Structure 1
Amino acid sequence: MSIPSAGSGAANLPQQNILDLFLAGVRAADPYLAVQSCLHADNAQLHIDLGRESDQHQRSSAWPLVHVLAFGKAACAMAEAARSIIPPSKMAQPGLIVTTYDNVRAIENFQVIGAGHPLPDAAGLQAAQLLANRAAAARPGELLLVLVSGGGSALLPLPVVGISLPEKIATTNLLLACGANIQQINCVRKHLSQLKGGGLAKLAGCADLHALILSDVIGDDLSAIASGPTVPDDTRFADAIQVLKSFQVWTQTPPAVQHHLLAGLKNTELETPKTGADCFANNAQTLIGSNTISLDAVSRAAAAAGYQVDIYSRQLCGEAKLAAGELAAYVRQTQANGLNQPIAIIAGGETTVTLAGNDYGKGGRNQEMALAFAVAAEQHQLDDHWQFLSGGTDGRDGPTDAAGGVVDAETLKRIRAAGIDPETSLLQHNAYPALQAADALLITGATGTNVADLQIVLLHPNHK
């Protein structure tokens, strides 16, 4: 990890603390341990914990064959954990893993495929078709064990007949650029896909299916995680059309996409499978990790380090710049009330960035939030004894090599000393070079997991 330097105004603050707290949250989402904690085997049976939301404790059976399909940023680690537990004689060979290019590594008895994220690519299209074929090959009485983690929507682009991959990419690009949230994006993608919105469950037919899910969606809506390939989708074609129209991108949507969505209004057979459909009769899901779990881990680590913990939000959302300004105002009020001990203000969630036109720079929502917080802190005249971190738990923020940013009271001075105007950088959505000039990028590398974002503010008493 690259550790951002601290300016002289923050020289008395423990620089490593804020990074250690963030990493505590990342470790809590460790996909290998999460799978191991809920999957068990003995000589005859495989046992799968069903989680707190279920009335039953476990799902158990002597399945003669287990087909393992893993996709998402944490797919490799999840598959390794499953392989360590499932008896080799019961595993269909080879298993299949689809993950981001930077998370690819060799896994014994698995075919590992790298694919594009956040925008899908041709490799993902081929992988999605292969995964669909594997799912359809599972027979009644066998188990299809599906390991789901963040990024699955982009990694498995299998458009419906009549829509090309470039047309689906163009539609996804429109949604990402206009500021649509993950639920809205997934609503559209489900209705353009053969796998999403319960499509994978439909392909599995009469085989048993169980999904172990690492959530990157705030609120842990299983129908939204990786666009819900194994669960019912109760959104409709009309909802997908409304998303595109509400963001005023319907007329820019490829004609083939428009044609399919309009056709779906008239033909119910084109709809995604809904609650109560036959394909869900033998299905179950277990949520094994989430942003909430990581947020709680950060809180425990902060308390252990001597901080008073203040949970600012468990579902932080909205425009990144606006969310940063509101948080800075909250910090200003906290400082005005007086500090008797160090305070850690913690949030978890997923903000958005709305891009206007094609004239924008390099960055991501966490980098933009970090830079916006530094600007807002200056405007609110915060005491110098603060640090702020905003980072993606997957180690990737937008199309960059940074997880986010770490800023303090000296960050803007360092940016301006490099000849960069921070306010202009925000207007141009160009946070990366500004933070880079201040040595304020959070660089972790790919973490192999993804449970959305974490924000941490550390405040220390100003002993003058």
Structure 2
Amino acid sequence: MKNPKEDLNELIKHILIKSDLSIYVKDYIKKLKIDRMANKKFILISFGKGASSMVNGAIEMLNDKIEGGVVVIPKGTKRPKGNLEVIESSHPIPDENSIKAADSIIEWTKIRGNIGFLFLISGGGSSLVEKPLRPITLDDLKELNKILLNSGASISEINTVRKHVSQIKGGRLATFVYPKKAYGLYASDVPGDILDQIASGPTVPDTTTFNDAFNVIINYNLKESIPKSVLKVLIDGVNRKIRDTPKPNDKIFKKIKNEIIAKNESILKHISKLLKGKGYKTIILTSRIEGESKDVGYALASITLDSINKGLPLRPPIALILGGETSVTVKGKGIGGRNMELALAWGLKVNEQISYKRAAILAFATDGIDGPTDSAGTLLSSEDINYIKSLGIDIKKELKDNNSYYVLNKASLLIKTGPTGSNLNNIIVVAIK
């Protein structure tokens, strides 16, 4: 056995390989034998952080069956192969290109003839493609997204609101495609792999309502802060002045097959196998962790300390493995991300309780982007906390200011991969020797 930080560092390359969405797309096309369909051409529409990778897999398999289409990617990320229309859009806050992307997709759905549609959708699509319901303006939409992202609401709650202020989310994109045959292939970035929550479920029957969206606003005390146009749309929806998003029994879904083809759980199982090979006993705690990042970090520290002191749930060597997406309620003025904040809270708690050098945590975003930063997350040991303190940094103070990036950057503990072209949520692993 190496030390736990070295073991976890070796995992990063395996996580990146296992997150390659082009492989999942190719496997799915083989399974359905889409590539063998006679006399069938496809319009390819893809958006999300994993759009380029997913498109590359489809082009490799379908090649001359693709008649055209559009790919919407975050600005500055790698462009896909082929000659498809490519729009660089904005994440995590929508902009003018998000509207442009929605308009282009709607135009492509108007093509007639013996044409099928292949939608390749991944996390991040909620901001990359958008067309708000009237009278909501783009500025209103930007403000809404900023407020939601800083509210502490879960990604599912945020997407519930997004679906009900949009002309294409929550299954509404499927209304433009009907009655043509279509496939919706989704890469999941939401805890629990809820299909209608991924990129706000543009081609999927919606299981949420205007009432659910309005309750999110009420529960997080956002009624007074969101734009008035947004509040009007939600209230009109609750009062049935606006038709709700299409539900599972709607005829528009009869000719579209939606399926999750890639998810966080696959990576967790792969990690477990690799760590067992290194001599660890492994436990996959969950693939759907949610909650405040600091609180989750403290909870994992408690499990870590019980393992060290009491052999609960198992005696070391042990690896605790989990995935999902925690939240950060932004109250400070610092810069950070959900993974960095979680890991720093874990390290602080473990370090306060015991002088133990042989424990480490990897908290990693598979898309390569943790919060509004250039970091994918962090890898740190309980011993690294002593080093951070030696730099004169008050960790508790910086956590209160949501300034985890500053702390970990000063200590050279950040992981920087750049955008990975994937988005299968976050990976968290605690290794104890």
Structure 1 length-normalised TM: 0.88
- Distance in 1, matches of 2:86 and 2:10, equals 31
- Distance in 1, matches of 2:218 and 2:315, equals 51
Distance 1:265 1:245, change over 3 A: same
Q: Does 1:300 align with 2:273?
A: yes
RMSD: 2.0
Q: How does 1:56-455 map to 2 (within 5 A)?
A: 61-62=37-38, 64-88=40-64, 90-93=65-68, 95-135=69-109, 137-139=110-112, 141-267=114-240, 270-337=243-310, 342-356=317-331, 359-381=332-354, 383-455=356-428
Q: Which runs of 5+ in 2 are unaligned?
A: none
Aligned to 1:29: 19
* Contact 1:140–1:206 (Cα < 8 Å) also in 2: no
Residue 39 of structure 1 is aligned with which of 6, 10, 29?
29
Q: CA deviation at 1:128?
A: 1.7
Q: CA deviation at 1:140?
A: 6.3
Deviates more, 1:451-460 or 1:380-389: 380-389
- Distance in 2, matches of 1:21 and 1:266, equals 51
User: CA deviation digits over 1:171-200, x for unaligned, max 9?
Assistant: 111111110111111111011111110011
Aligned to 1:6: none
Counterpart residue type for residue 204 of structure 1: V
- Distance in 2, matches of 1:341 and 1:365, equals 27
Counterpart residue type for residue 329 of structure 1: S
* Contact 2:72–2:128 (Cα < 8 Å) also in 1: yes
Q: CA deviation at 1:394?
A: 0.7
2:398 match: secondary structure: helix
* Contact 1:140–1:208 (Cα < 8 Å) also in 2: no
Counterpart residue type for residue 172 of structure 1: N
Q: CA deviation at 1:153?
A: 0.6
- Distance in 1, matches of 2:30 and 2:47, equals 21
1:225 match: secondary structure: helix
Deviates more, 1:393-402 or 1:262-271: 262-271
1:270 match: secondary structure: coil
* Contact 1:104–1:113 (Cα < 8 Å) also in 2: no
Structure 2 length-normalised TM: 0.95
- Distance in 1, matches of 2:183 and 2:308, equals 49
Counterpart residue type for residue 182 of structure 1: I
User: CA deviation digits over 1:383-406, x for unaligned, max 9?
Assistant: 211111111111100000001111
Deviates more, 1:414-423 or 1:113-122: 414-423
* Contact 1:329–1:380 (Cα < 8 Å) also in 2: no
* Contact 2:348–2:382 (Cα < 8 Å) also in 1: no
- Distance in 2, matches of 1:421 and 1:96, equals 48
Quick one: percent identity of the two aligned structures? 34
- Distance in 1, matches of 2:395 and 2:106, equals 47
User: CA deviation digits over 1:259-307, x for unaligned, max 9?
Assistant: 1112223336531111111110101022211011111111111112222
- Distance in 1, matches of 2:289 and 2:318, equals 19
What is the total number of aligned residue pairs between the two structures? 431
User: CA deviation digits over 1:76-133, x for unaligned, max 9?
Assistant: 0111111111141x3213x211111232325222122211111111122211211122
Counterpart residue type for residue 83 of structure 1: I
- Distance in 2, matches of 1:210 and 1:268, equals 32
1:178 match: secondary structure: coil
1:130 match: secondary structure: helix
Distance 1:234 1:344, change over 3 A: closer
2:192 match: secondary structure: coil
- Distance in 1, matches of 2:12 and 2:241, equals 46
Q: CA deviation at 1:455?
A: 0.7
